[in-house]
Each structure stands twice: as C-alpha cells, then as structure tokens.
Amino acid sequence: MKFKKKKILILTSLQSHHQIFLNKIKNEIDYMIIKEKLHINPKFNSEEKSLLKKQKLYEDQYLKKNKFLKFKPSYICKNINEKKNILRAKKFNPDTIIVFGTRKINISWINSFPKKMFNVHRGDPNYFRGLDSEFWSIYHGMYNSLAVCIHKIATKLDTGDIFSLMKIHLNKEMKLHQLRLIMTLKVVKIFKKLIKIKNIKLYKQSYKGRYYSTMPSSLKKICEIKFNKKCKNLK
C-alpha cells in the first residue's frame, strides 16, 4: 500500500548535519524549509575552533561521499519567531513541524500549531535541557545519558512529551567530532517512525532535567579529551 507523503515544515539553521538529515528524508515527504540565519552568540567564547573544523570536515566528507544535494531554503529569516514565518506556515498547512537548530520557539507558534510542533534534541531531556546537551553529558561523565530524541514542543524549553528517544552506544573507534553526525542519523530513524504513524503516542518525561546554556570553548576541549579517552579504553 502506497502512503501519501506528509507535508513537513522544517525550521532550521541549515548547517551541514541538517543537510544530511534533509537528504535522508527528502524522498518520503513534501517539505518546506525556513532557515534562520542569525546566530545568537553568547558573551563568552563558545566555539572550540579545532573541534568545529574536524566536525565540519567529517560531515562534509559524508555529504560528498553520498553525493548528497545541498538544500536551499524556501525562505530565509533573521528570527524564526517573526510573524511572517507563522503566516507562511499556515499557508503551507503542514501535517507536522520539525524544529532542528533554531532559537526557542515562541508561544505564537505553539498556539498556532498546538498539536503539530516537534523538536529535535541532542540529549536526554530527563537529565539535560537546553544547549550543548551532549557536551554537558560528557563533561559530567554521564555517558549513559548520551541520546537523541524528538519531543513535542512546550512553552518551557525541552520539557514536552517525548515521541521517541534513542541512546548513543559508544565504541572504541569513535571520536567526539563524529558524534553530531552519529546523532543525526539516529534522528533520521526517529523521524521516519514519526511520519509513518497515524496516531502518535507520546510519553511524559520522568524528570525535568537541568537547563544548561552554551558550553564555553575551554570546557569543550576538556570534553573532547574525556570522550576520546573513554572510547579508546572501551573493551
């Protein structure tokens, strides 16, 4: 039986891992992409340049190896919460909205699409909410909380009911600069489940994890050393 493609609105900053995500799902959906281009920088240095360079190279090589397309957004904006984006979304009339890599979605979005909005979170929100969750998991030595999930968007960041959560299993060959791509491929699996289910079942979070902001670059360097050592020492 052939399924009708669902209309999916994707709100994203369209970085290299988002490009990988889109290439993996493009044939199964009708889509519109709104790109938020304005990056909100914290008052401290949060970019560990060496790690970022290795991460981007790894993801770009994956894109090239698989001969993936480079997606262009349907619309570009400075702030995803601009009213015109909600009007664009209403005109598109999506079945589902996926938020993947933008600022916090405001109440106007939630009120306009109360049952349709889902967020991609690179972490287990039962323990880590907010930004750089994978780094904070590593920093605190909580490797069992390395995970990705898709959850419903709520007014309080990363507290919405969960559709599905997948743990990240480490191996001896893994390096930290590879982690974001590994997590993205897990997100693809969760998303494909989401769009094929007619009656979506959600479950409440067991706990409301602590909120963390962006991690300073000096701590990210520590995380890289800790993570790579952890994986190397696995039996």
pLDDT in tens, the chain (235 residues): 566 899 999 999 999 999 999 999 999 999 999 999 977 777 788 889 999 999 999 999 999 999 999 999 999 999 999 999 999 999 999 999 999 999 999 999 999 999 999 999 999 999 999 999 999 999 999 999 999 999 999 999 999 999 999 999 999 999 999 999 999 999 999 999 999 998 999 999 999 899 999 999 999 999 999 999 999 999 8
Contact 152, 190 (CB under 8 A): no
How many domains in the chain?
1
Residue 137, H or E segment: helix 133-139
pLDDT at position 1, please? 52
Q: Give domain status of residue 165, yes or no.
A: yes
d(CA 57, CA 132): 20
Q: Which pair of tokens denotes residue 121?
A: 């979170």
pLDDT at position 45, please? 83
Q: Give domain status of residue 186, yes or no.
A: yes
Contact 81, 108 (CB under 8 A): yes
CATH number of the domain where residue 76 is located: 3.40.50.12230
Contact 60, 16 (CB under 8 A): yes
d(CA 54, CA 84): 36
Q: Give domain status of residue 64, yes or no.
A: yes
Residue span of the structural domain in which 76 resides = 6-40+49-232
Contact 130, 157 (CB under 8 A): yes
Eight-class DSSP state of 7: E
Q: Give domain status of residue 1, yes or no.
A: no
Q: Give domain status of residue 113, yes or no.
A: yes
Using the structure block, give the residue that is written with the tokens 């898709």.
150
> Which residues are CB-contacts of 82 (< 8 A; sequence separation ≥ 6)?
none
Residue 93 to residues 7, 12, 87, Cα–Cα distance (Å): 8, 18, 10
pLDDT at position 145, please? 96
d(CA 158, CA 125): 6
pLDDT at position 2, please? 60
Q: Give domain status of residue 35, yes or no.
A: yes
